[in-house]
Copies of this chain bind each other. A is one copy, B any other.
């Protein structure tokens, strides 16, 4: 009798499993109808008024003017009158600087680091503090519609693991880095070389990684990492096939400093190259403001991503990245908020700032034509998204990362293109009514 009951329960359990997974699969297959805008190529806005986005098991099946017959029976979400946009990709952001947004922006870089950034980063040795701030940070990213990001933690391994967990809990996609610093940092943020490597090795093996949230090696920048540690990190990248993110050529004093610290190599990008941290695995280089034509060409040939951070270009008076030159050279340019040197996580603000600072360059250098909205939007979606795989577009087989965005009533009669422009220039996170990553809707707090 006992066995009968157990056997019955087992059968029930199997049935339940089958039903549940069928339901799950079904919920992963659906059609969204709305005003679709995306940029399959840099500068090319594809606009489908009242179009159909078909999602199958988390992937885009296609974006259509008219729903193909095959999908007619599928579950439909009616978002007519709303915009359907790819989620935003922020390829350079310091999560640990979230609480210092906007503070001390009148200070010069070094004073700003000493008065604000380093004391703030120190606090992340406290895991309770990390829980709190990283939880807020992940919630804010989701609210802002940033579905993918490349994020810096601090030197603290446990904190960075908490950051990874918080992003996962929120349903976001990200690369997360534990920062390395074993010289030229305040005592309280300076690791031993061996300790930094050991902690990084533990970090990349930590039980926090998922398909969506993955580790990335994060030497802060060449001046704060010894050649020995750079060497070890390069070897680790190669051995474990890990991507890399760091800073490059942000200001002239920094470039000079690197030349002095690495007298045999001297050239800043060559330093990373020398240690196997420059395109041997997928690589993000933030800023890239002051680079020669030859350096740009070399960067392109190595497939390294320059990350354009226009807001921090302005706030830190570090110069303006010549984004048009990179695009003309064929570089895979991404956009970054650079919070906290940038003061805003909301990527539409970063898109507008990218256009504006490119206009500033165009005033001085007319041959460097200003970015258009379809170009800057591409950088913030498919451009940066390509670092994660097939992300940031609505072409078939892309991860179904998308946002549903409402339009103010007064603009309801405007064209889809104009309502898209209005959202980017004047929208707020509150205009986003839903966010999806790989087909799955995000929970907001």
Contacts and interface: CB of A to CB of B under 8 A. Distances in A.
Interface of A: 99, 101-106, 132-133, 136, 314-315, 317, 319-320, 343-344, 352, 355-357, 359-360, 362-364, 370, 372-373, 410-411, 414, 418, 421-426, 428
Contacts of A428: 428
A358 to B, nearest CB: 10
Given A105-B421, A411-B99, A428-B428, A314 B136 contact: no
Nearest to A352: B343
A102 B349 CA distance: 12
Contacts of A356: 314-315
Contact of A104 (B357, B363, B410, B421): B421
Contacts of A359: 314-315, 317
Contact of A422 (B102, B317, B370): B102
A394 B360 CA distance: 37
A317 B352 contact: no
A344 B103 contact: no
A99 B410 contact: yes
Contact of A101 (B102, B104, B357, B426): B426
Interface class of chain A by DSSP: helix
Nearest to A310: B356
A415 to B, nearest CB: 9
Contact of A343 (B105, B317, B425): B425
Contacts of A418: 103-104
Given A101-B422, A101-B426, 5 more contacts: A102-B426, A136-B410, A315-B359, A317-B370, A364-B364
A314 B410 contact: no
Nearest to A362: B317
Contact of A105 (B355, B414, B423): B355
A360 B314 contact: yes
B101 A425 contact: yes
Leading 3 A-B pairs by shortest Cβ distance: A102-B425, A314-B356, A343-B425
A364 B317 CA distance: 10
A165 B359 CA distance: 38
